[in-house]
Amino acid sequence: MSTAAALPWKDRKRYLWIISAVLPALPLLSLALWSMTRNDLSLWLTLLVVYGVIPVLDLVLGEDRSNPPEEAVPALEADPWYRWLVYAAVPLVYLTVIVGTVFAMTAELGLLGYLGLALSVGWIGGAGINIGHELGHKKGLFDRTMARLSLAASGYGHFQIEHVRGHHRDVATPEDSASSRLGESYYRFITREIPGGFSRAWRLESERLARQGKGPWTPGNEILQPALVTVLLYGGLTLWLGWQALPFLLLQAAFAYTLLSAANYVEHYGLLRDKVGEGRYERPQPRHSWNSNHIVSNLVLYQLERHSDHHAHPTRSYQALRHFEDAPQLPTGYFGMFLVALFPPLWRRVMDPRVLAHARGDLSRINIDPASADRYQNGHRPVAA
């Protein structure tokens, strides 16, 4: 055995994961810059970094397709360092929401600065949803409680139920409101995904409580619990700072919602699981999620972009997620893809050929938007494998 082979495996990105934990403080840096310069453009720093710097770095630094060896995974999963990095980000999300709201109400901001700050705080709320996504799949009570707290900062507490019990069950099927369809624009997807997520979560939680002989309006309702935290947070800030704080809080929360929708839109566009029986679909496989190995955006998002492994193995922690060669690959990281999704013709030009190629040109193996079905049936040309 060679000396290199005998050495224990080490995570080369072990300390780089700190980026995910400290990112929720980025708007606080922009507040410090505004205090020094009084320039409202400084309050757009977060969005500039996320949608400008990170996509460029993804393209420049490229991908990391390496996987941890399976024999190293148990120790990697058990290492508390990775979990504590996720926990540490939760109070930063709340600090950013509170300080950002206070600043918006007390500083003399123009419309440009106000909007930049609201969207920046909302982006951190979206990061909080991603934190809730990572922790919400874990079995421990503390993890699930921290997940709800993280989601409550943006008023998206129902996500833990909707995602774990609903989306993971129905992913890459026409029944899933959180799986986008070939030909469906991001804007139309939002009108289906956001209300669909609320209604599915409420139905699933009501069914769970009914099996216990309880109605939905009970303290044990896991949607109402984080909703109460949201009401206390937003209500407390509004009572403290005045009614003008509420529109700011609602605006940042709305932006956080659209960020979650953008991720859902990118992750499963056009992909479809095969039916294996009446009303039954095959088990989710890596090929049912779009994957990306771009280094920087994965460091920012707790490796959410290795989504293929996540859906095939939902309880696997972010640091242990793997790349699969047969999983469909996005051309760049999520933040670059979010920008592309804002322009539906560009999105279709980039993604439709990839969907068709992945399905070997077989439209019956694609999740197609019913409103666009005729266009694809009439204009489709099979793509060579």
The secondary structure of the chain, three-state, reads CCHHHHCCCCCCCCCCCHHHHHHHHHHHHHHHHHHHHCCHHHHHHHHHHHHHHHHHHHHHHCECCCCCCHHHHHHHHHCHHHHHHHHHHHHHHHHHHHHHHHHHHHCCCCHHHHHHHHHHHHHHHHHHHHHHHHHHCCCCHHHHHHHHHHHHCCCCCCHHHHHHHHHHHHCCCCCCCCCCCECCCHHHHHHHHHHHHHHHHHHHHHHHHHHCCCCCCCCCCCCHHHHHHHHHHHHHHHHHHCCCHHHHHHHHHHHHHHHHHHHHHHHCCCECCCEEECCEECCCCHHHCCECCEHHHHHHCCCCCCHHHHHHCCCCCHHHCCCCCCCCECCCCHHHHHHHHCCHHHHHHHHHHHHHHHCCCCHHHECECHHHHHHHHHHCCCCCC
Residue 275: strand pairing partners: 281
Within a domain: 8: no
Tell me the mean pLDDT in the region 50-57. Answer: 97
| pLDDT of the residue at 290 | 98
pLDDT in tens, 74-85: 999 999 999 999
Within a domain: 35: yes
**Separation of alpha carbons 158 and 161, rounded Å:** 6
Tell me the mean pLDDT in the region 291-307. Answer: 97
Question: 64-74 burial, b if ≥16 CB within 10 A, otherwise e?
Answer: eeeebeeeebe
Within a domain: 178: yes
CA dihedral (127, 132, 135, 141) positive or negative: positive
Within a domain: 2: no
| pLDDT of the residue at 381 | 52
**Separation of alpha carbons 314 and 307, rounded Å:** 9
**Separation of alpha carbons 304 and 293, rounded Å:** 10
Tell me the mean pLDDT in the region 213-239. Answer: 97
**Separation of alpha carbons 203 and 195, rounded Å:** 12
Within a domain: 344: yes
pLDDT above 60 for 88: yes
Tell me the mean pLDDT in the region 300-307. Answer: 96
For the record, the structure tokens of 333 come out as 């990281």
pLDDT in tens, 309-341: 999 999 999 999 999 999 999 999 999 999 999
Residue type, 233: L
Question: With bands split at pLDDT 50, 70 and 90, how would you rate the model's confidence at 380?
Answer: low
pLDDT above 60 for 3: no
Provide the domain limits for residue 310: 17-379
pLDDT in tens, 130-185: 999 999 999 899 999 999 999 999 999 999 999 999 999 999 999 999 999 999 99
pLDDT in tens, 97-142: 999 999 999 999 999 999 999 999 999 999 999 999 999 999 899 9
| pLDDT of the residue at 6 | 52
Mean pLDDT, the chain, integer: 94
| Percent of the chain whose pLDDT exceeds 70 | 96
For the record, the structure tokens of 36 come out as 């020094």
The full length of the chain comes to 385
pLDDT above 90 for 382: no
**Separation of alpha carbons 172 and 273, rounded Å:** 6
| pLDDT of the residue at 284 | 94
pLDDT above 80 for 379: no
Within a domain: 5: no
Domain count, the chain: 1
Residue type, 140: G
Contacts for 53-58: CB closer than 8 Å, 24+ residues apart: 54/296, 54/297, 54/300, 54/333, 54/335, 55/297, 55/332, 55/333, 55/335, 55/336, 55/339, 57/295, 57/296, 58/294, 58/295, 58/296, 58/297, 58/332, 58/333, 58/335, 58/336
Within a domain: 286: yes
Place of tokens 């953008």: 262
In terms of pTM, does the model score above 0.85?
yes
Within a domain: 250: yes
On the CB side of 176, CA atoms within 13 Å amount to 31
| pLDDT of the residue at 14 | 96
| pLDDT of the residue at 378 | 79
